[in-house]
Structure 1
Amino acid sequence: MKTAITTTAALVSISLLAACGGGSSGELEPQMASFSLGVSDAPVNGAKAVMVCFSEIELTGNGVGSQSFTIGDDDVAAEANDNCRDGQGNLLPNTRGIDLLLLDGAKSEALITGAEFAAGNYGQLRLEIAEGSYVELEDGMREPLRVPSNELKLGGVTLSAGGTFNYTLEFDLRKAMVNPPGQDGYLLKPTGLRLVDNSEVGHLEGQVDEGLLITNSCTVAPADASLPVATVYLYQGADRPLAELSDNGGNNTYQPYASTNVYFDGVSEYNYSIGFIEADMYTAALSCDVADDPEQADAIEFLQAQNVTIAASATAVTLDFTE
């Protein structure tokens, strides 16, 4: 995991006029809140790196105009970041490049930390994505990564006066990243992105028995440990029937809340992890089918499912799949 970059936004100055007695008025100090935003990821097949270049964070819909934070507008964030470059190889100013594939499970990287925004109920958070984003494939080739209108639009946040708020944007690339036929490179869609309050989430991790994989003719002990051997899907609610579970592009009754790969550790264990899950009851299901096109229904066979309760905690819940 990369070292997190800490940024501090300039205070947003807002003057509010209030009537006082005989028509006099006074200037009130704006009520502020501290806001931090990190990013995390669930892995995707076929890529060695997924570099996303962030340039601006904007909160809108508070009744006082949009509040924005541009990467690099303060001294700390202006530290060199050579991950984002234009087509001629020139460094793009005011960008922060983050390789999402380094941030699986409960790992995250700070995009902004302790930025001061006017308190209020914001209807939408927008992330401006700069050119220079790319996907590095397993053969070393790089393909451009695009975002519709160069902007990711997410749900809103409520920032109460004087509060400190920490959010994480979880990129479920198995849902969000597609390779449209006939188009150049990859497309990153808001589908599968979750903006969560860190005080309301937990994490899930576990292992899969090798015997279970062997019994079901799944891949075991691959020579290349970067290749997944199975997948774990997570569905909101308990006791979801296997026959009614959908893959990321399917239309069965229950759609995945999240999904991730199971990897061989090169010795004896098969591990998986899913991070930043909203506290709730879930059904976790295991499959040895690792191909899942988010644009269409795939023939996914689920081997077994278990209920799991995720509590708001920094400590991950352990759930193993055994014979």
Structure 2
Amino acid sequence: LYYVDENGDPDPQEIDLLAYQNGEAAPLIQDEEVLAGEYTWMRLGVEAERGVVDSYIVLEENGAQHSLYVPSGSNTGLKVNESFIVTAGGNTALTIDFDLRKSVHEPGNNADDYILRPTLRITDNSEVGDISGYISSSLLLEEESCEIGSEGEAQGLAVYVYTNGNIDVVVDPNDEGSDNSPLATTIPVYDSVTDQYNYSLAFMLAGDYNVAVTCDADVDDVDVDEPSEDNPDTPEVEETWISIADQNATVNVGETTEVNFEPST
């Protein structure tokens, strides 16, 4: 499917990814007819040239706007290597999950472009449920690795979800493709009324997961001084983080599984 305007020119959509969290999604394709069958991948066209502010990131700390560059993105787009089935005479609703925590990397070699190497997963909406819950501030106060600011901000706090059961205490969240690679991540939001950090993860395929909490998520930041030898645009990541708590969880279709983290008694 290739969308064009009335003149036959490409008609790209501009999407603020941060506006679509906690189960919210932006429509890309609606009510289009395609051949029934099994599809093995999907490719998204993207405009993200080096040195051009087409796709961009705005830094929270100073409001600065930087170009987002996808290596080879203008030529090959973003390929999602996951299969899905379109049934004859039926309606298929799919969601592509875009994990920004694992996708955006700071510039290397004094470049100005932030590098976008997207981590994407595609799910059939008829096969998913949600995970949500909270982390008690009392739990964080017990942990030396957790630092809480005067307004409740918790540096490095994040939730990671894994598909391979119980995780090791020390894991590498950037080890894509390995048994320790997280399926999804999210940053909890502080609620001053309940004194808790709430989180939500939507579009999770039904199945068994392990949900882990850490205050070391800031080690996900790339080492901008040591780019990869094979690709100077790809900085190396060598650090690991420590899970302060984790629980197993089962997701059922159409349901929300609640996973909360309190201090052990």
Settle same-fold status: TM greater than 0.5: yes
The RMSD of aligned alpha carbons is 2.6
Q: Give 3-state SS (helix, strand or coil) of 1:105's partner.
A: coil
C-alpha distance 98-147 of structure 1, shift in aligned 2 (>3 A) = same
Q: Note if contact 1:251-1:297 (Cα within 8 Å) is conserved in structure 2.
A: no
1:316 to 247, 250, 256: 256
1:275 CA drift (Å): 1.7
Q: Quick check: 1:303 aligned with 2:230?
A: no
- Report the Cα distance in structure 2 between the residues aligned to 1:249 and 1:310, rounded to whole angstroms: 24
Distance in 1, Cα, partners of 2:4 & 2:149: 43
Counterpart position of 2:51: none
**CA shift for structure 1 position 263:** 2.1
1:137 aligned residue: 59
Q: Is 2:133 the counterpart of 1:188?
A: no
Partner residue, 2:212? 285
Tell me which protein shows more strand as a share of its residues.
Answer: 1
* Separation in structure 1 between the aligned mates of residue 205 and residue 179 of structure 2, nearest angstrom: 21
Paired with 1:130 and 1:152, the residues of 2 have a C-alpha distance of 10
Number of aligned positions between the proteins: 235
Alignment check: 8 A CA contact 2:156 2:214 kept: no
Mapped partners of 1:196, 1:166: distance in 2: 9
Q: Is the 8 A contact 2:131 2:257 kept in 1?
A: yes
CA contact (8 A) 1:174 1:248 kept: no
Q: Is the 8 A contact 1:125 1:157 kept in 2?
A: no
Task: State the 1:175 CA deviation.
Answer: 1.2
CA separation of 1:72 and 1:161: change in aligned 2, threshold 3 A: farther
Deviation track 1:234-275 (CA, whole Å, cap 9, x = no partner) reads 1113233324x3322489852211111122124322111212
Q: Provide the C-alpha distance between the structure 2 equivalents of 1:117 and 1:250, rounded to a whole number of angstroms.
A: 32
Q: Within 5 Å, give how 1:1-323 maps onto structure 2.
A: 68-70=1-3, 72=5, 94-131=11-48, 132-138=54-60, 139-149=62-72, 150=74, 151-155=77-81, 156-182=83-109, 183-190=111-118, 192-217=119-144, 218-220=146-148, 222-223=150-151, 230-243=157-170, 245-249=171-175, 253-267=179-193, 268-291=195-218, 292-293=220-221, 295-313=236-254, 315-323=255-263
Give the secondary-structure state (helix, strand or coil) at the position aligned to 2:101. Answer: helix
Give the whole-Å Cα distance in 1 for the aligned partners of 2:192 and 2:87: 48
Deviation at 1:222, TM superposition (A): 4.6
Q: SS of the residue aligned with 2:247?
A: strand
Equivalent residue letter for 2:261: F
- Residue ranges of structure 2 left out of the alignment (5+ in a row): 49-53, 223-235
Structure 1 gap ranges (5+)? 1-67, 75-91
User: TM-score under structure 2 normalisation?
Assistant: 0.79
Query: How far is the alpha carbon of 1:173 from its aligned partner?
Result: 1.1
2:15 is matched by which residue type in structure 1?
I
Secondary structure at the aligned position of 1:199 is classed as helix
Larger Rg: 1
Question: For the residues of structure 2 that align with 1:171 and 1:118, how far apart are their CA atoms?
Answer: 26
Q: What is aligned with 2:225?
A: none
